Amino acid sequence: MAGNREFFYRRLHSLLGVIPVGIFLMQHLVVNHYATGGAASFDKAANFMGNLPFRILLETVIIFLPLLFHAIYGLYIAFTANNNVGRYGYFRNWMFMLQRVSGVITLIFVAWHVWETRIAAAFGTEVNFQMMENILSSPFMFWFYVVGILSTVFHFANGLWSFLVSWGITITPRSQRITTYVTIILFVALSYVGISALVSFI
Amino acid sequence: MAENKTVKFIISRQETPDSAPYTEEFDIEYRPNMNVISALMEIRRNPVNAKGEKTSPITWEMNCLEEVCGACSMVINGKPRQSCSALVDQLEQPIRLEPMRTFPVVRDLQVDRSRMFDSLKKVKAWIPIDGTYDLGPGPRMAEKKRQWAYELSKCMTCGVCLEACPNVNSKSDFIGPAPLSQVRLFNAHPTGELNKAERLEAIMGDGGITNCGNSQNCVQSCPKGIPLTTSIAALNRDTTFQGFRNFFGSDSI
């Protein structure tokens, strides 16, 4: 097993991006969507999530540890590539480059987002509709969140495509092409869920 | 006298593996149906650059001259390909020639592709048939499968897929698409299959299959049209199962 570290880490990286981090992302965006129903509706949902039993344990095992591993190992992967879309402007090569760029943007966005909400909550700030309304009242922060959400959703949708290839699920060019379409639809759908929630805070 | 049409070449040159590269321009007299190699031969015959100065002939590698040996690969107008099958009539001018810098440059356009041959050794890209006694004839291969395997066997270790791959570089140990596809070829052979696990474990090691980032430049660039990304995805599945077998245990060793 000693010689297989890289294989193991890389496959773990691919798996964690989908399970649990990708699943958590979808759940998070869906819960946020309660904001479109008004402040009371969002606060009720946020309260339910925030008061789940074993919350700290769930957060640590399902979110923080997998996310931390995925982020740190992902940075290493991103910086070992020599991007060459200038010479080879093929669709998949662009996706390869954008996957790395969106990964870095997402890391910056998520780090800021966790600092501003979850860490703030740990120091006693209450997470509610009002908090997000305050954050997003600044146009800069609103656009920062728009870019952050789109980048995160792209990274997840395109990462799901690579996950299917990396684990040997989609082998034929046809299956890979069809999953490209499916992941594009997923990108559009999740972007809608995320951005519509974001807009309802302002 | 016929019209004196010339072809302009801008060639990247380098005296030694460590010296700085520079470019030199050449105007070659046009002849119908000429390829890049015939132009390089013309420079060798009369090594005079575009300024009319005498210079050293260009160094490059070539062998078969019919796109089956892979030796004459170079970057022509930004794309890696074989210079024997690069026809001047089909190229935009001026024609820019550079070595495939993913590999160590020996001199001018000549590169050292040793790493590819080392990788083939590492993944055991052969069928062991030697023994201390006559092993007898191997099992037959279905004709349909032979034809399928023939496509994978067209690989000529030319290095174009490594040059096109964003993950094959000095920051990574990735062996590249070509040797991976050879693992699929030899694992598909009825006798080669006896060493399937060894080959899979070799590509699950350092610099192996997991370094693939799915940019799929390789399959777009392969001059032989080898389905490299299909091979890699198929091996992803094989190594997934091999990993499970190694960890959880299995009687099919």
Q: Which residue of chain B is at minimal alpha-carbon distance from A162?
A: B214
ipTM, two decimals, is 0.93
Q: Chain A window 25-84: which residues touch B at a Cβ cutoff of 8 Å?
A: 77, 79-84
Find which of B216, B232, B241 to mutate to test the A interface (most A CBs within 10 Å of its CB).
B216
Place of tokens 């699920």: A169
The confidence score (pLDDT) of residue A2 equals 44
Subunit contact B167:A80, Cβ cutoff 8 A: yes
pLDDT tens digit at each of 253 positions of chain B: 456 799 999 999 999 999 999 999 999 999 999 999 999 999 999 999 999 999 999 999 999 999 999 999 999 999 999 999 999 999 999 999 999 999 999 999 999 999 999 999 999 999 988 888 888 888 999 999 999 999 999 999 999 999 999 999 999 999 999 999 999 999 999 999 999 999 999 999 999 999 999 999 999 999 999 999 999 999 999 999 999 999 999 987 6
- DSSP, collapsed to helix, strand or coil, labels residue B141 as coil
* A180 shares contact with chain B (CB less than 8 Å): no
* Contacts with A11 (C-beta within 8 Å, 6 or more apart), sequence order: A166, A167, B210, B240, B243
Q: Where are the beta strands (DSSP E) in B132-222?
A: none
Which residue of chain B comes nearest to A85, CA vs CA?
A: B166
Domain limits for position A148: 2-199
Q: Which residues of B touch A90 (CB under 8 A)?
A: 215-217, 220
Looking at the structure of chain A, the number of domains it has is 1
Q: Does A167 touch chain B (CB under 8 A)?
A: yes
* Cα–Cα nearest to A171, from B218, B227, B202: B227
Per-residue tokens: B231: 């091979």
- Give the tokens for residue A200: 């309802």
Q: Vertex A125, ends A120 and A128: CA angle to 5°?
A: 105
Half-sphere exposure of residue B78, counting CA atoms within 13 Å on the CB side? 10
Closest CA–CA distance from residue A109 to any residue of chain B (Å): 23
> What gap in Å lies between CA A64 and CA A75, rounded to an integer?
16
- B62: how many CB neighbours lie within 10 A of its CB? 17
Residue corresponding to tokens 């590999």: B103
* Four-residue CA torsion sign, A147, A148, A152, A153: negative
A170 in B contact zone (CB under 8 Å): yes
For residue B75, the cross-strand partners are: B80, B98
Q: In this complex, is the C-beta atom of B214 within 8 Å of any C-beta atom belonging to chain A?
A: yes
With CB atoms and an 8 Å threshold, state whether B217 touches A82: no
Tell me the mean pLDDT in the region A182-187: 98
- Measured between CA atoms, how close is A122 to chain B, in angstroms? 38
DSSP string, A5-29: HHHHHHHHHHHHHHTTHHHHHHHHH
Nearest neighbour of B230 by CB, restricted to A7, A81, A172: A172
Mean pLDDT of the A11-28 span: 96
Pairwise CB contact (< 8 Å): A7 & B239? yes
CATH code, A149: 1.20.1300.10
Q: Cβ separation of A88 and B209 shorter than 8 Å? A: no
Question: What's the gap in Å between the CA of A128 and the closest CA on chain B?
Answer: 40
pLDDT in tens, A112-124: 999 999 999 899 8
Q: Which domains does chain B have, with CATH numbers?
A: 6-111 (3.10.20.30), 114-248 (1.10.1060.10)
Q: Which residues of A118-153 are buried (b: 16+ CB within 10 A; e: fewer)?
A: eeeeeeeeebebebbeebbeeeebbebbbebbbbbb
Q: What is the pLDDT of residues A143-160, one digit of tens each?
A: 999 999 999 999 999 999
Confidence of residue A125 (pLDDT cuts 50, 70, 90): confident
A2–chain B Cβ distance below 8 A for any pair = no
Beta sheet of B22-29, edge-to-edge order: B22-29, B6-13, B95-98, B73-76, B79-82
